[in-house]
Structure 1
Amino acid sequence: MTRTSTNGPRGTWSRTSTRAGAALLAASAASLLMAGCADASEPEPRVPDDPSWSIDAAGRLDPQLAAEVEKIADEYDGEAAIALALPGAETGDGPVEAGELSDVSAWSTSKVPVAIAALRENGYTGGVEGGDDTSDEGGEAGAASWVVDLIDPMITESDNDSAESAWLSMGGEVAAAESVNEVLGDGGDARTQFDAWVPPGDVQWELSDQAAFGANLTCIDGAKPVVEAMGEIVDYQSYGLGEIDGARFKGGWGPDDDGGYLSRQFGVIPAFGGGVIGVAIAARPGDGTDDTAREMLNDIAHALMERMPHGGDCETAPVTSKRSGEAT
């Protein structure tokens, strides 16, 4: 199913999607005042004025941050949520969250694991963030050059045509879904299931699972070009997590079947005192508009900056359990 929003720029993609929202994206860019794109260099840790908090094994989110997220939902007569995770977190073990959101379609956030899977299935061997990106064959770490060329528009601009090509490059619908599921498992998400018969943007991706995946993202084999692109998001999509210096993130947005509107983002950000955390945020405004959803994500990101937790390192806290990529 292809869904098109009348409230804001197109942010979903499916196997039959087009670039119908390109003009609307350009129009919104001219009217928005946002933070610039995050630098893809190594993120600098943010140092808040007050001592921070730690994500603990009991699964508790900082109560002040949780209260702020609830306040944001009330202020906009909508729904808001946040999930955070340390590197090494896995489904059901590690992520902490606040707020409630149902029917959380992945929308264009699904392009991140799809991009990684497409690189891996087409010969990319560049390893993880900070690894070598060259090969003896002259290509980017051995990957087919045309696949590598898809990554920047797919991630930085959320281009649907590039995402479509990446999905189809993996040898069919079933093979693509299996490859993406393997990537998710490598990132600690053992629950989210891509399916050959469901458009990637319509896959349900819970915020807690997405936060775990984000926390482990830089240690996933083949993720380096994707993580770098997540640090170069175009200005008109750099709201929300784009307000945080050093963030690598990707957004997705679109209308609900019942007339509502969901906007979400996830990624990996510098934490208090060094290290990183995975984060996923989402908003469904009461007025069902893209503009208000952006404001809500900005507010959530600002609240997080004021209550930033201590972070970790996926190299010293790797994902310990894997899953197969089996898909239907």
Structure 2
Amino acid sequence: MAAAAVTAAALSACTIPPRSGDAGTGPGKTITQIVVVPPESTTPLVPAAPPAAAGQGPLAGFDTLAAQLGGDSGIALAPVGGGQSIVAGTLQSGPAWSTIKVPLTIAALTAPGGSGQLTSVAQAITASDNAAAEQLWDSLGDPPVAATHVQAVLQQFGDPATVVESRKTRPEYSAFGQTVWSLAAQTQFASFLPCHTEAAQVLGYMDDVEADQRWGLGTLPNTSFKGGWGPDEQGRYLVRQFGIISTGSGQLAVAVAAEAPSGSFNDATAMLTQIAQWIGTRVATVTSGASC
């Protein structure tokens, strides 16, 4: 597959009621690094080189924005078709929450008889309906089997490292939603969504997310996205999104995450909106993937 590099010249919502609280990683220095994953690699995602100095390349200035926002936040970019994932910020991984519904719905649709589950797929993506997602998960078999199917989709779409959770580590939440998914791995996965016909219907639903979930990346034009959110055991919210931004030079995969100083859901979504607007001022100068 052809892959274009991101040059210096040059995004899963859970239907649970927001409340105060935050899944924090603690304060730290902003990190900018490059992760390289060959499109057909079967090896884990690992840094190809030591972290670069903060604020380089197309993410220059993110550390300043993050400091102004407070709390913890992170971002990753990758060109569509595979290539380098460029990351910045103090928050680079955490529970997937409802962002995992994207590979889950693809797994369900491509399973035998999956075409009959289109209504549940649409609800799981556009409304982030948890009951619909659980139905799709159950259709894939017992939890370990279902996790294997979803993980196979991740591997097919350029993310060989993420391990899909099959156990309910927190009884009140889905097993799959507690999958630990890094922003770098998520952008690798997203970068191949436009390249596979199996993802076409799901990607279409990512264009039609309901209005009350169109914060963050949802405020940008020409963006397909899915969000996810949930509290840690202290009630503090991690809020994250990933998706595809169409630019003048092609398409760009992006993943963002935030945990507000207050720990609240609303404050974290406001952070993501500010981060998305910051991205929006820069996408015209980013050379993004032009083909798969």
Same fold (TM over 0.5): yes
Q: Which residue matches 2:228?
A: 252
Q: Which residue matches 2:250?
A: 275
Q: Which residue matches 1:94?
A: 84
What TM-score, normalized to structure 1?
0.69
- CA–CA distance in 2 between the matches of 1:99 and 1:276? 22
3-state SS of paired residue (1:253): strand
In the alignment, structure 1 residue 310 sits paired with structure 2 residue 280:
no
- CA displacement 1:210-267 (0-9 Å, x = unmatched): 0111111122342111100000001110011111111110000111224422110001
- Could you tell me whether the CA contact under 8 Å between 1:65 and 1:303 is conserved in 2? no
Residue 120 of structure 1 aligns with an amino acid whose one-letter code is T
Q: 1:119 aligns with which of 105, 109, 115?
A: 109
RMSD: 2.6
Residue 231 of structure 1 aligns with an amino acid whose one-letter code is D
- Could you tell me whether the CA contact under 8 Å between 1:114 and 1:180 is conserved in 2? yes
Moved >6 Å (runs of 4+): 55-62
Q: Which residue matches 1:178?
A: 148
- CA–CA distance in 2 between the matches of 1:176 and 1:311? 34
- CA–CA distance in 2 between the matches of 1:179 and 1:148? 18
Q: Which residue matches 1:193?
A: 163
Seen in structure 2, the aligned counterparts of structure 1 residues 102 and 257 have a Cα distance that, compared at 3 Å, is: farther
- CA–CA distance in 2 between the matches of 1:171 and 1:160? 17
In the alignment, structure 1 residue 217 sits paired with structure 2 residue 193:
yes
- CA–CA distance in 1 between the matches of 2:270 and 2:16? 24
What TM-score, normalized to structure 2?
0.77
- Could you tell me whether the CA contact under 8 Å between 1:84 and 1:96 is conserved in 2? yes
Q: Which runs of 5+ in 1 are unaligned?
A: 1-9, 13-18, 26-54, 125-142, 316-328
Q: Which residue matches 1:295?
A: 270
- CA–CA distance in 1 between the matches of 2:74 and 2:181? 13
Please give the residue correspondences for 1:1-328 in structure 2 after superposition, counting only pairs within 5 Å. Answer: 11-12=13-14, 21=17, 63=56, 66-89=59-82, 94-101=84-91, 104-123=94-113, 143=115, 145=116, 147-198=117-168, 199-271=175-247, 273-308=248-283, 309-315=286-292
Q: Which residue matches 2:28?
A: none
Instruction: Calculate percent identity across the aligned residue pairs.
Output: 36
**Pairs aligned (count):** 245
Q: Which runs of 5+ in 2 are unaligned?
A: 1-11, 20-33, 37-47, 169-174
- CA–CA distance in 2 between the matches of 1:256 and 1:220? 34
- CA displacement 1:271-321 (0-9 Å, x = unmatched): 2x3310110001111011111111111111111111111211343xxxxxx
- Aligned-residue offset at 1:101: 1.2
- Aligned-residue offset at 1:67: 4.8
Bigger radius of gyration among the two? 1
3-state SS of paired residue (2:166): coil
- CA displacement 1:16-41 (0-9 Å, x = unmatched): xxx664xx79xxxxxxxxxxxxxxxx
- Aligned-residue offset at 1:196: 2.2
